[in-house]
């Protein structure tokens, strides 16, 4: 039996290879792709999932994520960084952008929102890791800026897919998070905050959607998985459900190989 990664309709329709790996109890370490699950286990799981994704692990680019807002554009020569050895990962970055055909980029999450972007007119792709820190630092806006200003993408052509992550059902946050969000967001961000039983709830899905809409992405080009990792912690890795030793799922995207078949 094989388990397929989660896939988004808007990317599948356009022929873009991508997916989000899952928590799968029949695999070692429940299918986690993060090194904290053990080097051999992580490698074995990466090989398993990448085979299902139909993408080459050996040329996939991983970054060392730090809950920051740095976006890194990666090139062919970055292929394979962090894929088999954590020490070679792109340092301190939470978003990877590439216009290189056939070069997969990835982010790892366990409650944070994985966001995959596709700019068909460049073409280019991006993988973005947006927890509360990344979201309040507007990382998805930074990634779109790199695509638009750096690579010439038009916002109304952009596709955005938000993967399984902690939902508004489960994400209580402190006042300081709310304050940071409302201060940073360039539009009215109150829609992403609600108050429940004396606590604030931060809706990371709405927050990132607001940022994408604000920059000109069309509503019909944004797909939200709408799956809460904490509510479904048997199927997804969840930091809040399981604690700091939890593994992580990976969200991966790659442009097709160019017509010459080069990678």
Strand 105-109: give its sheet, edge to edge.
17-20, 249-254, 105-109
Q: Which of 63, 134, 167, 247 binds Zn ion (CB under 5 A)?
A: 167
Q: Which is nearer to Zn ion, 98 or 249 (CB)?
A: 249
* C-beta separation of 147 from 124 below 8 A: yes
For Zn ion, which residue of 230, 233, 236, 247 counts as binding (CB under 5 A)?
Answer: 230
Q: Which residue is nearest to Zn ion (CB)?
A: 228
Site for Zn ion in 8-37 (CB under 5 A): none
Radius of gyration (C-alpha) of the chain in whole angstroms: 17
CB of 131 to Zn ion, least distance (A): 15
- Give the binding range for Zn ion (CB under 5 A) out of 125-133, 155-163, 207-215, 230-238: 230-238
Considering the rule CB under 5 A, would residue 257 count as an interface residue with Zn ion?
no
Any idea how long the chain is?
263
Nearest to Zn ion of 145, 172 (CB atom): 172
Under the binding rule (CB under 5 A), the answer on residue 227 touching Zn ion is no
CA distance 234 to 188: 35
Q: Which two tokens stand for residue 96?
A: 């990877």
Among 64, 172, 231, 240, binds Zn ion (CB under 5 A): 231
* Beta-carbon contacts of residue 188 (< 8 Å; ≥ 6 apart): none
Q: Are 140 and 112 in contact (CB under 8 A)?
A: no
Q: Report 55-114 residues binding Zn ion (CB under 5 A).
A: none
β-pair type (71-73, 95-98): parallel
| Helix (H), strand (E) counts: the chain | 7, 12
Binding positions for Zn ion, 107-166, rule CB under 5 A: none
Strands 249-254 and 17-20 turn out to be antiparallel
Q: How far is the CB of 248 from Zn ion (least distance, A)?
A: 18
* Residue list 170-189, contact with Zn ion (CB under 5 A): 170
- Contacting residues toward Zn ion, per CB under 5 A: 167, 169-170, 228, 230-231
């Amino acid at each position: 039996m094989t388990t397929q990664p989660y896939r988004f309709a808007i990317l599948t329709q356009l022929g873009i290879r991508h997916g989000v790996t899952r928590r799968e109890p029949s695999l070692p370490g429940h299918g986690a792709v993060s090194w904290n699950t053990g080097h051999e286990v992580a490698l074995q799981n990466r090989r398993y999932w990448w085979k299902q994704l139909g993408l080459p692990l050996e040329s996939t680019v991983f970054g060392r994520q730090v809950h920051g807002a740095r976006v890194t554009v990666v090139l062919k020569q970055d292929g394979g960084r962090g894929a088999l050895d954590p020490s070679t990962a792109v340092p301190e970055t939470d978003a990877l952008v590439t216009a290189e055909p056939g070069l997969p980029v990835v982010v790892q999450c366990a409650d944070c929102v994985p966001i995959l972007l596709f700019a068909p007119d460049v073409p280019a792709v991006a993988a973005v890791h947006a927890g509360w820190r990344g979201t309040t630092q507007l990382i998805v806006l930074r990634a779109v800026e790199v695509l638009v200003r750096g690579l010439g993408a038009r916002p109304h052509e952009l596709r955005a897919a938000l993967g399984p992550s902690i939902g508004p059902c489960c994400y209580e946050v402190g006042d300081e998070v709310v304050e940071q969000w409302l201060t940073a967001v360039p539009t009215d961000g109150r829609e992403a905050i609600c108050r429940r039983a004396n606590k604030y709830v931060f809706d990371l899905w709405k927050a990132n959607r607001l940022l994408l809409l604000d920059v000109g992405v069309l509503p019909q080009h944004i797909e939200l998985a709408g799956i809460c990792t904490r509510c479904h912690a048997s199927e997804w890795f969840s930091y809040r459900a399981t604690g700091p030793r939890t593994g992580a799922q990976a969200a991966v995207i790659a442009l097709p190989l160019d017509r010459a078949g080069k990678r």
